[in-house]
């Protein structure tokens, strides 16, 4: 089905130009709750490894199960919702996460552990593309800012997981205490159900609007150029999320092995890193709105390389300090990459969101599995030495076309239609 770009009615156009902060804050808060639940799983890896007598390969398989579940489903969810918006799917998806937490708190075998993680992955596969669509709807044209605000909630939640795990889960009856996190899922269901009411009343904001003609001095991008740009973005995603997989899944093990920290202390260091990613997320979106996404992507990926290369050779103090710098710089990339891709293919907000969130989850899961196997064959320290070179792939950013702050306005007319 082909839908031509349409002009909105005056009252609809006025609504489309306003940033709806209440909705952005609601989905950012829900993202915090969702990713707190997600981050609980890797946060309790040291405990699970001991109680289930797992090796690093099996730890990687746990991450792969959850991430691949979300990765494969998210583009499908996004593509389906582009054609048939589902205002209350967000609340429904969170019910899967709730079920996964309940099962995780009682799982007595490795297969049940994998199933519980898969259920949490299904919940995320619905949440991320649909919530990203809501951020686009409520952005009022400030798409970089909206995606960054949405993302900062998720990164804050990811940082809270290890902290809460250190406070609540570690100790006696460790696995059963996971059930306390179901409170977060219930709160998210309530918030997202109410957000669904606004979603249902404002689906007109998803209508593609006619864009201005290309500005003088900027040639329209060909379909081939758009395609190669998407390939480069995928390569940059690989660099970012393979490195994050090493930190998210194995940073605690690295600290325990190299500096002989306790599990609780290692989780606190992981919290510091993840909190820094939350703090840095909000920077990239507004800067990209003002100066262009390409600059943000360039600095965020390639700019972090000197610090990742130093980290495997640093003392404990400097390891913590470098992890903060890495988190601050690297975290700004995703919202810039996502909005850049949406500007390359306007009218396909849900599909792009689902694809790139799916890639984020898939690459994170695959990276965890591959790096876990590498750690079994070599050592955790060797894994961090190898991953230190991944940000050098940021050199590929130089081949991306410069779209500027309003990049989509330079796209050819045939790409400004939804197919």
Residue carrying structure tokens 């890639």 = 359
Q: Residues with Cβ < 8 Å from 347, sequence gap 6 or more?
A: 3, 5, 208, 416, 417, 418
| Torsion from C-alpha of 79, 82, 85, 87, nearest 10 degrees | 80
Residue 311 pLDDT greater than 50, yes or no: yes
Whose CA is closest to 134, among 273, 6, 21? 21
Domain membership of residue 96 (yes or no) is yes
Give the single-character DSSP code of 360.
H
Place 404 in a pLDDT band, splitting at 50, 70 and 90: low
Whose CA is closest to 281, among 339, 329, 220, 238? 329
What's the confidence (pLDDT) of residue 241? Answer: 85
Domain membership of residue 391 (yes or no) is yes
Domain membership of residue 3 (yes or no) is no
Residue 13 pLDDT greater than 50, yes or no: no
Cα(248)–Cα(253) distance, rounded to whole angstroms? 10
CA atoms within 13 A on the CB side of 99: 14
Q: What is the arithmetic mean of pLDDT over 12-33?
A: 77
- Which residue range is the domain that position 235 belongs to? 10-210+218-415
Helix (H, G, I), strand (E, B) or coil at 211: coil
Place 174 in a pLDDT band, splitting at 50, 70 and 90: low
Domain membership of residue 5 (yes or no) is no
Domain membership of residue 1 (yes or no) is no
Phi, psi (degrees; rounded to nearest 5) at 6: -120, 155
Cα(375)–Cα(250) distance, rounded to whole angstroms? 9
- Looking at the structure of the chain, the number of domains it has is 1
Give the single-character DSSP code of 221.
P
Phi, psi (degrees; rounded to nearest 5) at 389: -90, -10
Element at 303 (helix H, strand E): none
Highest mean pLDDT among 3-17, 28-42, 79-93, 315-329: 315-329
Residue 410 pLDDT greater than 60, yes or no: no
Cα(282)–Cα(300) distance, rounded to whole angstroms? 13
Residue 287 pLDDT greater than 90, yes or no: no
Domain membership of residue 249 (yes or no) is yes
Q: For the chain, what's the residue count?
A: 419
Report the CATH number at residue 58.
1.20.1250.20
Cα(103)–Cα(107) distance, rounded to whole angstroms? 6
Domain membership of residue 389 (yes or no) is yes
Q: Residues with Cβ < 8 Å from 68, sequence gap 6 or more?
A: 121, 361, 362, 365, 366
Phi, psi (degrees; rounded to nearest 5) at 3: -115, 120
């Amino acid at each position: 089905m082909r839908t031509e770009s349409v002009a909105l009615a005056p009252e609809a156009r006025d609504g489309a130009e306003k940033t709806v902060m209440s909705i952005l804050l609601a989905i950012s808060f829900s993202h915090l709750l969702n990713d707190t639940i997600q981050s609980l799983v890797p946060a309790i890896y040291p405990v699970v490894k001991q109680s289930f007598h797992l090796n690093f390969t099996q730890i990687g398989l746990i991450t792969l199960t959850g991430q691949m579940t979300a990765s494969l489903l998210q583009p499908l969810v996004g593509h389906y919702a582009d054609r048939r918006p589902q205002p209350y799917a967000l609340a429904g998806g969170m019910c899967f996460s709730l079920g996964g937490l309940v099962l995780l708190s009682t799982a007595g075998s490795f297969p049940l552990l994998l199933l519980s993680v898969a259920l949490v992955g299904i919940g995320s596969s619905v949440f991320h593309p649909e919530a990203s669509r809501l951020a686009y709807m409520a952005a009022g044209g400030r798409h970089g800012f909206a995606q960054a605000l949405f993302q900062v909630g998720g990164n804050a939640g990811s940082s809270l997981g290890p902290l809460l795990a250190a406070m609540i889960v570690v100790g006696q009856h460790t696995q059963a205490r996971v059930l306390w996190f179901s409170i977060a899922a219930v709160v998210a269901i309530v918030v997202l159900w109410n957000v669904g009411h606004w979603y249902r009343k404002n689906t007109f904001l998803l209508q593609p609007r006619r864009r201005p003609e290309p500005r003088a001095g900027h040639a329209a991008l060909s379909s081939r150029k758009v395609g190669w740009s998407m390939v480069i973005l995928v390569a940059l995603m690989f660099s970012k999320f393979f490195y994050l997989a090493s930190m998210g899944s194995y940073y605690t093990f690295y600290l325990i092995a190299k500096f002989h920290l306790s599990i609780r202390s290692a989780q606190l260091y992981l919290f510091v890193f993840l909190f820094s990613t939350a703090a840095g997320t909000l920077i990239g979106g507004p800067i990209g709105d003002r100066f262009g996404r390409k600059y943000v992507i360039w600095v965020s990926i390639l700019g972090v390389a000197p610090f990742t290369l130093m980290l495997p050779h640093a003392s404990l103090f400097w390891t913590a300090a470098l992890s903060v710098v890495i988190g601050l710089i690297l975290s700004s990339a995703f919202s810039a990459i996502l909005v850049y891709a949406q500007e390359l293919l306007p009218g396909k907000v849900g599909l792009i969101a689902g694809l790139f969130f799916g890639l984020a989850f898939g690459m994170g899961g695959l990276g965890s599995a591959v790096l876990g196997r590498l750690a079994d064959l070599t050592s955790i320290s060797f894994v961090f030495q190898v991953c230190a070179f991944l940000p050098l792939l940021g050199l590929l950013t130089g081949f991306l076309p410069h779209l500027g702050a309003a990049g989509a306005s330079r796209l050819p007319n045939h790409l400004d239609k939804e197919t």
